[in-house]
Amino acid sequence: MPKLIAFSFLILASGFLLLASCSADINENGFSKNPGPISANLIGALQDGEDPNSVPEVKRNFLEGCVTGASGSIPNLVAIQETGLLQVCGCSYESLYQYFMDRAATLTDSSASLTEIEVLAFRSFNNLDKDIQKGDEEFAEELLSVFEQCIRDSSPTISS
């Protein structure tokens, strides 16, 4: 089972690689910018009740990168759905978003607006993407725990 966990980390890391196209300019982009439709094969990664026609660009790119990162090893949609990959990718995005928002909130003073917190959180998310593109794929322990929890939640038979 450790191979599956390592494989999942590789897949999730690939999700960050597609962020570069949409996260290059902090002033024009953010977690909620440029909503649009998500590919039909990625709808299973969305949270219950989330509108598949208005998914922010960063999230669409992350989910696409996460799922397509596995396409060489898991070539068809049925196999992707059966592995729980869509749930792992969806959970990972939501958990990373919350991780960076919580972290940004603790780094700002109490008078900071939600917009200021989101800009700081998005900047950290973007910086992680840039570090991965440079080849620094070492995740902080807190980020690894985010991925591990999503993997455990989608595959209860995997032990940590």
Q: How far apart are CA 45 and CA 41, in angstroms?
A: 9
pLDDT in tens, 121-139: 999 888 877 776 676 556 6
| Residue 77 Cα distances to 17, 42, 72, 81, 142, angstroms | 21, 10, 12, 6, 31
Q: Helices marked H in 19-140 — which ranges? A: 57-68, 77-83, 85-107, 114-133
Secondary structure of residue 74 in the 3-state scheme: coil
pLDDT in tens, 67-117: 776 555 555 555 555 567 788 889 889 998 999 999 999 988 888 888 899
pLDDT in tens, 12-66: 554 444 443 444 444 456 888 899 999 988 888 898 889 999 999 999 988 888 7
Q: Are 125 and 12 in contact (CB under 8 A)?
A: no
